[in-house]
Structure 1
Amino acid sequence: MRVERDLHILLTKFLNKEFLKFLIIGALNFLLTYLIYLLMLMRFNYLFSYGFSYLIGIIFSYFMNTFYVFHEKASIKKAMSFPIIYIVQFLFSEVILYFLVEHINNKILSFAPIIIIIVTVPITFLLSKYIIKGKLIK
């Protein structure tokens, strides 16, 4: 029973307005970067295409999360720290992407970013909140 109660408390703190806004911005960010990824695939290899679209996503994410999700002021310190989250996430994502394409099925190429997003969103939310607000839980 205690485990269930603790899990409920954790989920309640995690699934709040900020997280829902984060998901909305994340969805918009995903659509933007996925479109860029697919367009880039027409001309470049999948790793470069993913990397370029990912960079655009970092910039979009910082500003939208700072102003819309967490209602904070932008700062140079936060802006310089924010990409650290995405560098770690990017490296993790590249490993997942490579594994999916090279070891599972290369036909998954167009859908691989969807799988990557599902795996990395919760961690990214917590790290973003920490950098932008300076705290993880309200």
Structure 2
Amino acid sequence: MDRKEFLSAIGVSAAAFTVMNCLACSKGSNPGSSNSVNGPTGVDFTLDLTTSANSALLANGGYLAQNNIIIAKTTAGAYIAVQQSCTHENYPLVYQGNSKQFYCNNHGSAFTEAGVVKNSPASHNLTVYNTTLTGTSLRIYS
């Protein structure tokens, strides 16, 4: 193999390696990504607000995540529930009670308490779930 053939072979190998790495980093293979932007379906579960695991929901502005859903108590004292994952790339959201929004720390998308896109890059609203408080039991359902 002469020098020209050798450099040509190396160039093809390097190009193939680069392409494979780029494909591995594409949105479809990103651990935080998903082709689905919708939240879980068929949701129906109840939280006992007297247990320590659910104590975050006793304070206005508190929240917790369970069953891929964020359940929050607004600063006004209402219970709300939305899908836990951002509709942009499926990263987990947090609830910011003082800002009255759900926020993605990964890319900066924000959603209102009603699940409506407030900041891009997300372009789809969150799936919103019903909540019903009966005594100390909070039911979350679709």
Larger RCO of the pair (alpha carbons < 8 Å, separation 6+): 1
Give the TM-score category using the shorter length.
under 0.3
**Structure having the higher Rg:** 2
**When you count helix as a share of all residues, which structure comes out higher?**
1
**When you count strand as a share of all residues, which structure comes out higher?**
2
* TM-score of the pair, normalised by structure 1: 0.23
